[in-house]
Structures are given as structure tokens and as C-alpha cells.
Chains A and B, each alone.
Chain A
Amino acid sequence: MAATTADTAAERTRTAGAERRARAYRPLGSWSRRTLVIMTALLVLGTILYLGPFLIQVANSFKTDAEAIQNPASLIPNPFSLDGWKAALGMDPAFPVNLPRWVTNSVVVAVSVTIGRVIIDCLAGYALARIRFPGKGAATALIIGVMAVPGVVLLIPKFLVIKQLGMYDTYAGMIIPLLCDSVGILLMRTAFMSVPWELEEAAIIDGAGVMRRFVSITMPLVVPALITVIILSFQGSWNEFTHFLVATSDPNLATLNLGIAQLSAGAAKGPSLFPMKLALATLSMIPVALLFIFFQRYFVRSIGTTGIK
């Protein structure tokens, strides 16, 4: 209590001193009340601009085709219609929506890519952080260097290799090329490097080999980085589009994204049937949106850790 009073007194003196200097110092990151009101208004406007499209997307998926065209901005469907969702779920024979197939493919690919990346990234990250071996510099340079290769330049080349390896139109061709993940390796390397070496040293004295130290000593200490890799891998492969576009042509291998794209370019082409397309778009966003809601800080972590997206 006494301390608080003293603090307040000191505070008052300081404030008084500042006021005498005509205007008080205020860091750029802290505005006056008036500016704050203006900025809050701008932020609310920003929120409308950034969330609005999603609200409109969901609202219009529950409208009739005619209503979606006539009254696109209204957030309350009137009349309320489930036709768009029925078509999206494959219940309308007029449209080639094979949702179970698409979702299965998306899940198979995203889960496989995630598991594969976790194994590869952890192994490589650990080796680059903790093991001395000839050729390590070259391996590091290669892993960092390929990040500079623009993805779009690899579109045709990847197709060529997949074709040559006989992996065109197979799950293998969809999954294995996506296992190259420099960002994940570097994330894991940084995490392993932050584990104190003394812990491993103690394990060495107890006679633990490399594998033992990797699995039981260091792995439990890099779980946050591991979660980041899992989330980024799942998000990346779930959202992936172009790779599947060039790696497959078999409709049975279409992922959710590819299916939606082909539907919008084919049977549901042009400015019509929006409720169905918007329902599919909403559906395709659900898994990643859920991940984002529950693991938000891990999404953000990757940016700070790697310095690049």
C-alpha cells in the first residue's frame, strides 16, 4: 500500500514535470485520445474489409441462386436455402461433385506430407545443428539455396521429373515432391541449436548413442517448433493447388481444391451457381481455419523464426 502511494506520488511529480515542458513525450506507438478514436474507427473499417468477404461468402452459400445474384451484399439469406450446400455435398446429380473422394484425397495427401516432413525436417535439423560430419556445409548451403528458386519456375520441371519417375497420376507423385521443406528444416535446426549441449553431454557419459540422444533427450525439448512444422505442413499441403494441377489428370485423384477449381471451370463455369461454389469454398477453409483458431501463435512463430514466409 505504502509503495503504491509512493509510486503515485513519483508519477505525479514526473507528469507535472512533463506538463511544464508544454507537451508530454509520447512514443509513436501511443497516441492521444483523439487519434486513438480515429484509429479505432479505421481499425473497425479494416475489420469489415478483412472479415467481410468471409461473412459474405458464408451468407451467400445459404441463398438461392437468384437471391445471391440480386442481393449479394445482404448477410441474411432471404429466402434461406440449403440447395447450395446440398449441391456442394454431392446431393445434386446435376453437378459432378465427388466430395467424399476429394476430401479423402486432400486428407491422405496433407497427412502424408505432414508426417513425411516432420520426419525429414527433424532428422535433417538435428544433424545440421548437432552432428559434425563432412559435407555438412554443402548440405546446409543446398537447403538454404533452393529457397531462392521461385516455385513457379519449377512447375514444368517437376512435371518432367514426375513423368520420368513414373509417378504421374499417383499419390506418390502428389506427396513426395512436397516433402522438400527448407523452411521446416531451418526451423527445426534453430530449435535444436537452442537446446543446451550439456544435456546431451550428460547422456553421452551415460552411454547414449546419437539416435537415443536425438529421440529421448532433445526431441521433447523442441515440441513447440515441431508443432509449428506440423501446422505449416498441413496448411501448406491442404491449400496446395498448382502442384496437383501438373502432377495429376485423373479426376479420382482430385483434391478438394482441385475439384473446386475444375468444377468452377467446367460444370459451374461463369457467374452463376455461386451458392454451391461458395459453400465448397467455405467447406475447404474449415480445417485450416480451425487449426488457426486453436494454434494461432504457432502460425505467427514461423515468421519470426525464419525471417521469411
Chain B
Amino acid sequence: MTLLGTAAQPAQPLDPKVLPPKRRRGGSTSGTQRVAGWTFTAPAVIAIIVFVVVPVGMALWVSLLKWNGLSSPFGGGAEFVGLDNYKRLLTTDGLLRQNFTIGLRNNLYYVLMVVPGTIVLAFALALMVNQQRLKGRGFFRTVFYFPSITSAVAITVTFLFLFQNSGVINQVLGWFGISGPKWFVDSRGLFQTIAEALGIAPASGTPTWGTGTILGLPINQWLAGPSPALIALATMTVWASSGTFMLFFLAGLQNIPHEVDEAAFIDGASTWQRFRFVTVPLMKKSLTLVALLTVIGSWQVFDSVYLATQGGPQKTTLTPAFQSYQVSFKDGDFGGGAAIAFVLFLIIIVFTVGQRLISREKD
């Protein structure tokens, strides 16, 4: 929430220029003002309460039920089961937990690809288009930002085409002598493929060190790495969102005073040193914000999974967000689906708070 600091700042309501001065007579709010204030904010507040606050409360209730979504969750058709849904998700062996763990693993790899990928690419793009002497800066900015305004549906259709077996991506890889995988068919993880090629891991079966389990998933499956399909989805996300974050970085870069950089130069710092020890530290705020937003976004990946893979092949693109939808709407297990949504919520909160703590410590 504090990431909204910038937006919230102008809220200091005591600037006499900004707010109407306190009423002269009596000093309290006048009746008309009160009525106007409430009337004006009512539509927004009611919409938020009805479609955000109440739904969250209802979902919390549903996550404690065994309910198929057909009857009313407050009537006799729903059985109160306490924390059973959460237990099924986290401790009891079963399909729900197995899929949830696989989803966590996939999403973790997805975060590890998307977050650094987006930050590095967006930062590089921002540095390049911030170049004073560059002709056509505006054109390049427009080009890099354009994918960000298009819809997930259109982009996914196009990327499915690009990543076909004989598609453009594999053709381009072929120019470099690389034979690309069947992106949406192969289910072997990247690290597994590499390990097999190097002869470290057996081509089939589980190595002895990999039989232990974490949250019900064997260690070697945790370490298998992202499947080609997951890599394709991550590529798409980085491509589609880096333009937005480029603009975030650009705004930050333009706020860096020239004097600081010049001082470092006069002190004999090399270009790399100036970048590493002047630009990057001064961009810390932007970097933290972008990292936070991409982490939050990556844990919510849904559209592209739904549209491109439905979790396949072999569940290697299954994510908690998609599982939550699938379990609820396809399997009719709304209690389980709601429980997944809340665990996901918790994960996002933990990442948000954790990231804020880390960035604060460094100050």
C-alpha cells in the first residue's frame, strides 16, 4: 500500500491553498458541505464496498465451506468444514495439494524469469531512449511501449503463432544452429534437459538424491526447471510489460541531477563506476517499485495460462491463480478454489512486505 506514497502525498489536507479554509462560523463543517461530500463520494465508496470488500469477506467464508457453487453459500447446500480446505491444500496428500505444489514451483520459476528479465530489459531500454543525442527518441519510446497497451488475448494468439513447432521463433533459432523445442508440447524442464545432455541426470526415472519430497513434490521435480511452455509465457510477459516499466525508469532517470554525475566524473570515476555507484543507487526507488510491481503481477499470472496452455503440457504451466479458477469453475470445488486464492493473497503480501523491509534496511 505504501507504494502509493507518491499518489497519497498531495493528500495533506492542511494546505490552505488546496482545501477550502475552515468555515468561519462555528468552525465545523457546514451541512451542505457534509451532504455534498457524502453524495459525491457515495458511488465510488459503495462500488468498492460491494465489489471488493464484501467479495473478499464472502470468499473468506466460502474458503471454510464445502460448496459446489450452485446453491447459496449461506444456505443449507453448503457444509461448514472449518480449515479443511486449507489442510487439503497444504498438508493432506491428494490431487489438490499435488497440483498446488506444482503450481507454486512453476510460478516460482516464472517469477525468477519475469522479474529480472523485465527489470534488466526495461532499465536498458530506458537508458537508451534517455540518450540526449539520439535522434527519434520519441519513436523508440512509442515502439517499446506499444505492446503494453494491447490486450492479453491478442498478444497470446500472436505468440502462440510465433512459438509453433515450425514457427518464427524456431526458424530464427535455426539460423543460429539451434533446434528449438516443441514449445507447447515438450514438458521437460530446462535444467533437467541440460543435466541429461551433460550426463549428470538419468534420462528416465528418479535419481536417488531426488526422491525426498518438499510439500509432497519430489526434489528432482522441484529442480527440473521451467518447461519450454513456461519459458514462452515468461518471454511474452517480459516483452509485453517492459515498455510500461521503461517509462517508470525513464521518469526516474530524468529526476537525477546532472551535478552528481558530473562530480563523480571529475573525481575520476569510469563510466561503469558512474553507472554502478551513482545512477543505480539514485534509481533505487524506481527499481524497488518496479521489482515490487512485477513480483505482484507475476504471482497473478492467469490470462496467458488460460488462453495459451490451460496449465499444460503435463501441468508445467499450471499456476496457483489458474488452479484457483479451474478448481472452482471446472471441478465445482469453490471452497478449495477460494482457499487457493487466499494462500496466493498471503504469498503476495509476504513478498510485498519482505521486499519493503529489505529495501528499508539498505537505506
- A residues with CB within 8 A of B: 25-31, 36, 39-40, 42-43, 46-47, 49-51, 53-54, 56-57, 60, 68-70, 72-73, 119-121, 123-124, 126-136, 139-140, 142-161, 164-165, 176-177, 179-182, 185-186, 189-190, 193, 196-197, 200, 209-211, 214, 235, 238-239, 241-242, 245-246, 257, 260-261, 264-265, 271, 274, 277-278, 280-282, 284-285, 288-289, 292, 296, 299-300, 303-309
On whether the beta carbons of B151 and A239 are closer than 8 Å, the reply is: yes
Interface residues of B in 289-322 (CB under 8 A from A): 289, 293, 296, 299-300, 302-303, 306-307, 310, 321
- B residues with CB within 8 A of A: 1, 3-8, 10-11, 13, 16-20, 22-23, 29, 32-34, 36-41, 43-45, 47-56, 58-59, 62, 72-73, 125, 127-134, 140, 142-147, 149-155, 157-162, 164-168, 171-172, 239, 243-244, 247-248, 251, 253, 258, 261-262, 265-266, 271, 274-275, 278-279, 289, 293, 296, 299-300, 302-303, 306-307, 310, 321, 324-325, 328-329, 334, 337-338, 341-342, 344-345, 348, 352
Question: Could you jot down 16 A-B contacts, CB within 8 Å?
Answer: A56-B168, A72-B164, A72-B167, A73-B172, A120-B47, A127-B37, A132-B19, A150-B344, A157-B338, A197-B17, A197-B19, A235-B149, A257-B151, A264-B160, A285-B154, A288-B151
Give complex CA distance A296, B138 in Å.
Answer: 11
Q: B residues within 8 A CB of A142?
A: 45, 48-49, 53
Q: A residues within 8 A CB of B247?
A: 300, 303
On whether the beta carbons of B41 and A156 are closer than 8 Å, the reply is: no
Q: Would A241 and B48 be within 8 Å (CB), given that A53-B159, A69-B166, A131-B37 are in contact?
A: no
Contact of A239 among B59, B62, B152, B248 (CB under 8 A): B152
B133–chain A nearest beta-carbon distance, Å: 5
On whether the beta carbons of A46 and B153 are closer than 8 Å, the reply is: no
Give complex CA distance A293, B175 in Å.
Answer: 35
Contact of A161 among B19, B50, B149 (CB under 8 A): B50
On whether the beta carbons of A133 and B33 are closer than 8 Å, the reply is: yes
Residue of B nearest to A177 (CB): B51
Q: Would A56 and B162 be within 8 Å (CB), given that A39-B128, A131-B36, A307-B4 are in contact?
A: yes
Contact of B29 among A27, A120, A132 (CB under 8 A): A132
Give complex CA distance A185, B43 in Å.
Answer: 11
Residue of A nearest to B136 (CB): A43
On whether the beta carbons of B328 and A156 are closer than 8 Å, the reply is: yes
On whether the beta carbons of A245 and B239 are closer than 8 Å, the reply is: no
Give complex CA distance A264, B153 in Å.
Answer: 10
On whether the beta carbons of B328 and A50 are closer than 8 Å, the reply is: no
